[in-house]
Chains A and B, each alone.
Chain A
Amino acid sequence: MAVFLQSLISGVLIGGVYALIGIGLTLIFGVMRVINFAHGDIMMVGMYLTYLLFTLMGVDPFVSVLISFPLMFFFGGFLQKVFINRVLNAVAQNQILLTIGLGLIMSNTVMLIFTSDYKILTTSYSSSTIQVGGGVSISTPLLVSFLITAVITAALGWFLLKTDTGQAIRATAQDRDAAQLMGINVSRMSVIAFGLGAALAGTAGALISPTYYIFPQVGGTFTLKAFVITVLGGMGSVVGATLGGILIGITESMSAVYISSGWKDVVVFVLFLLVLLFKPSGLMGKSRT
């Protein structure tokens, strides 16, 4: 029972970070109908940013979110304005290829600068835990990152639901043409949405950097995971992505314990295929043709 509880808790905690990555992807997809294959690589850029801030200036990874969030927002906005914006009306395949290309450029540029060595960001609390009782313990960095994730998700929810810009973004996601006719500057909303998506991915990168290896190719796995999460939750649904993230986190940690850690990603991908086959609209998505 302790093992079950333990893996459930760590699954939920890591799932919070996954949710952040998934929300970013789903936001971008919702507003622009572009599937961002560079999402994991954007997260990787966030990890290296955190690493740089930590090693050069001694900024704590969790505090560095305050710096990396706006920086990654501008980075995302820049990507949207310069590259993605040009293919908004192209066929989906070309959009996919463009983002794959951008991802390759990011990961290989980082490799040229930092080499492909694995970097580890060791903080005083990297391996500290909190004992809850009953043999169950919680990793401190995971708990802190989960709390930050929760705050960010809540703030994002408030932004999307209550502010004018948030509502304009949601209107653009609902119907781009109608939103434009209502006087919403849809191209600005696209820049903001991509910026937010990148900022969320970068933040997720910052949050996992105390507990995860940092290397240039780390993005690929996370891009795939982000897809699984968003498809599971329903493409374009923020609530769905949050649920999907936590679900994938739990699935991973459960299958690592009860099957084997080597096969845990296979379990996730099989789950993904099953969802694609039997409920392609996802848990929270409306079916779209």
Chain B
Amino acid sequence: MNKSMLKAAIGLIVLAGLLVIPRFVESPYALHMMILLFLSVSQGQSWNILGGYAGQYSVGHAAYFGVGAYTTMMLMYSKQVAPWVGVWAGVAAVIVVALVIGSICFRLRGPYFVLASIAVAEIMRLSAINLTTLTNGAEGILVTEIPAFKIGGRVVTDFLTKVPFYYIGLFLALLTLAIAYWVQHSKLGYYFQAIREDQDAAHSLGIHISVYKNIGLVISAVLTSLAGSFYGIYVGFVDPPTVLGLDVSVQIMLICIIGGMGTIWGPVLGSLLLVPLSEALRSNMITEGLVKIGLVSADSKVGLFLKENLAHAHVLLYGILVVLVILFMPDGLMGFVKKLASRRKREAA
């Protein structure tokens, strides 16, 4: 069996495993973790297409995530539009937003592009706070009931368990992976990489820079918007800081950077690291673990402090990880793994 067949076989086995998990796993918490993982993969992968392949570091992806989430939720909340219809309205809105942003921001390069992308996302966030009649302002939008999804009168799912969300999330993650694969192996992807490596050289070879940057942005924004809509429907609540905040943009970017930019598996690796770690912190698992091993007593001052505060510390962890990654493995985990592998190969030879 050669290498590519082995890879395909492993892929199929993993895929089959992922498809049957909800049959055997009933714990809603385990499914919730998987859904978060899928969401994170699709967020990171969407950013990867623009940031990793085309080299345009957007620190404003919350704009697309939030506009997708808000459009779907607003339509469901005030017009009772079903989410699977609203999602496409969100996509349409995001394409318009992306093209406006692209036409403004892509005239700028490097750090100026980063700053412009942040400014645009902040304008979106502040607008969501201030346009109270549309968005409920800082209160946010809460939707508790999702209509059942029917085809020809037959109920396909009523969204009462986590299982339908699991499959939607899985589909979204696979979709973004497939698109990243396609981007990497198509002419479009070569154009993107040429722009990333040397914009002027790419331009002199006849690549229409702003057209291709905008194509990359629209693909990336549409996928991010889908992830945003999915998040909104799954959680049932959106408000300006959770879907439009600067933190959201930074987190989307970090998944990809920690994993490895411009690689297909980078965002997956980043998600596999970040999601369990931040969940463990959020749910106080680490403190409980420390108490259990007997390192910290639960009633001592330190124990109480950890219990009280460690749950909020997952962003601190992001910060530490970024600093470590940038200083010690600037190509992300993927680059680090590759380097180790090639070193092993050299030593073996």
A residues sitting closer than 8 Å to B (CB atoms) are 35, 83, 86-87, 90, 92-94, 96-98, 100-105, 107-109, 111-112, 115-116, 220, 224, 227-228, 231, 260, 262-263, 265-266, 269-270, 272-273, 276-277, 280
Contact = CB atoms under 8 A, between A and B. Distances in A.
Contacts, number: 111
Given A105-B316, A108-B316, A273-B119, A98 B326 contact: yes
Given A98-B326, A112-B316, A276 B108 contact: yes
A266 B313 contact: no
B312 A111 contact: yes
A108 B313 contact: yes
A228 B107 CA distance: 17
Contact of A224 (B122, B253, B318, B326): B122
A112 B111 contact: no
Contacts of B326: 87, 90, 94, 97-98, 101
Nearest to B318: A104
A125 B273 CA distance: 50
B323 A105 contact: yes
Interface string B306-326: 000100110110111111001
B130 A35 contact: no
A231 B323 contact: no
A273 B57 contact: no
29 contacts: A83-B327, A90-B326, A90-B330, A93-B110, A93-B114, A94-B330, A96-B57, A96-B111, A100-B322, A101-B323, A107-B315, A111-B309, A111-B312, A111-B316, A115-B309, A224-B118, A224-B122, A227-B115, A262-B126, A262-B129, A262-B130, A263-B130, A266-B127, A269-B120, A273-B116, A273-B119, A276-B104, A276-B108, A276-B112
A104 B319 CA distance: 5
A104 B318 CA distance: 8
B316 A266 contact: no
Given A101-B326, A224-B118, 10 more contacts: A83-B327, A90-B326, A94-B330, A108-B313, A108-B319, A112-B309, A260-B130, A262-B129, A272-B115, A273-B119
B334 to A, nearest CB: 16
Contacts of A104: 250, 315-316, 318-319, 322
Contacts of B180: none
Given A92-B110, A265-B122, A116 B57 contact: no
Contacts of B322: 97-98, 100-101, 104
Contacts of A262: 126, 129-130
A107 B250 CA distance: 14
Q: Is the interface of A mostly helix, strand, loop or mixed?
A: helix
Contacts of B120: 269, 273
Contacts of A92: 110-111
B123 interface: yes
Interface in B113-151: 114-116, 118-120, 122-123, 126-127, 129-130
B114 A96 contact: yes
Contacts of B115: 35, 227, 231, 272, 276
B98 interface: no
B143 to A, nearest CB: 25
Nearest to A220: B246
Contacts of B114: 35, 93, 96
Contacts of B233: none
Q: 6 closest Cβ contacts across the A-B interface?
A: A104-B319, A101-B322, A108-B316, A105-B319, A101-B323, A262-B130
B257 interface: yes
Contact of A265 (B59, B126, B250, B330): B126
A84 to B, nearest CB: 10
Nearest to A34: B111
A97 B319 CA distance: 9
Contacts of B321: 101
Given A92-B110, A112-B309, A262-B126, A276 B323 contact: no
Nearest to B330: A94
A35 B316 contact: no
Given A94-B326, A96-B114, A97-B326, A277 B107 contact: yes
A75 B120 CA distance: 32
B225 to A, nearest CB: 22
Contacts of A231: 112, 115
A210 to B, nearest CB: 26
Contact of B119 (A35, A111, A269): A269
Contacts of B253: 97
Contacts of A270: 123
